[in-house]
C-alpha cells in the first residue's frame, strides 16, 4: 500500500505533481497514522512521525515521490455576521472564550461547525446566523506546535474560565 510520509503546507509543494486528492471533514484532518481512501477510490496509509493538522491545499508526499492534495470537505457549519465590526468582535471574543475552532471566511463572516447551542448564544448577542454546508478550515491557533501556556507547563491554561 502507498504511504504518505510527509505533509507540505499549501503553496510549499509542487501542486502540479498531485496525482490525486483526498477530501476530508475537519475532524478527520488531525491525524498521524490512518488508512485513507483517495477521491479516486485508491487506498493509502497516512504514516507520519507525529500528529499533524491537515488543511485545505496541503500536499501529502508519498513514499514513491508523488503527492496527494488535501481538500476540506463540505460539512454543516454556521456563518456569523453582525451589524457592526465591533459587534462581530464581541461575538468572536465569546467564541474564543469557549475555545471553539473558528474560521474567518473570505466574506469576513465567522464560520464554526454547526452547533445549535452556540447559534442561540450568537443570536442572543445580536449576531445573524446562516446555516450551510461548506468546507471548514479553522485557524490552527497561535500555540500550534508549542505548549499552550507559559513556563513549559505542557498544555496548562494560564487564564480563568
Question: Residue 87: its pLDDT value, please?
Answer: 96
Q: How confident is the model over 34-52, as pLDDT tens digits?
A: 999 999 999 999 999 999 9
**Cα–Cα distance measured from residue 138 to residue 90, given in angstroms and rounded to the nearest whole number:** 19
Of the pLDDT bands very low, low, confident and very high (cuts 50, 70, 90), residue 139 is: confident
Give 143 or 55, the one with higher predicted confidence.
Answer: 55
Backbone φ/ψ region at 76: left (φ over 0), alpha (ψ -120 to 50), beta:
beta
Q: How confident is the model over 9-33, as pLDDT tens digits?
A: 999 999 998 989 999 999 999 999 9
Radius of gyration of the chain (CA): 18
Residue 124 pLDDT > 50, yes or no?
Answer: yes
Task: Record the pTM.
Answer: 0.79
43: Cα within 13 Å, side-chain hemisphere: 4
85-97 vs 116-124: helix axis angle to the nearest 10? 140
Amino acid at each position: 500500500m502507498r504511504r504518505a510520509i510527509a505533509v507540505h503546507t499549501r503553496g510549499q509543494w509542487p501542486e502540479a505533481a498531485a496525482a490525486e486528492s483526498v477530501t476530508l471533514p475537519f475532524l478527520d484532518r488531525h491525524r498521524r497514522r490512518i488508512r485513507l481512501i483517495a477521491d479516486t477510490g485508491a487506498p493509502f496509509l497516512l504514516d507520519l512521525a507525529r500528529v499533524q493538522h491537515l488543511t485545505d491545499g496541503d500536499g501529502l508526499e508519498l513514499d514513491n515521490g508523488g503527492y496527494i492534495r488535501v481538500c476540506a470537505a463540505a460539512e454543516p457549519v454556521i456563518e456569523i455576521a453582525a451589524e457592526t465590526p465591533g459587534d462581530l468582535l464581541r461575538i468572536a471574543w465569546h467564541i474564543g472564550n469557549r475555545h471553539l475552532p473558528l474560521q474567518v471566511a473570505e466574506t469576513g463572516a465567522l464560520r464554526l461547525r454547526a452547533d445549535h447551542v452556540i447559534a442561540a448564544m450568537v443570536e442572543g448577542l445580536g449576531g445573524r446566523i446562516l446555516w450551510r454546508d461548506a468546507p471548514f478550515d479553522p485557524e490552527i491557533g497561535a500555540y500550534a506546535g508549542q505548549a499552550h501556556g507559559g513556563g513549559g507547563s505542557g498544555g496548562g491554561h494560564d487564564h480563568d474560565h
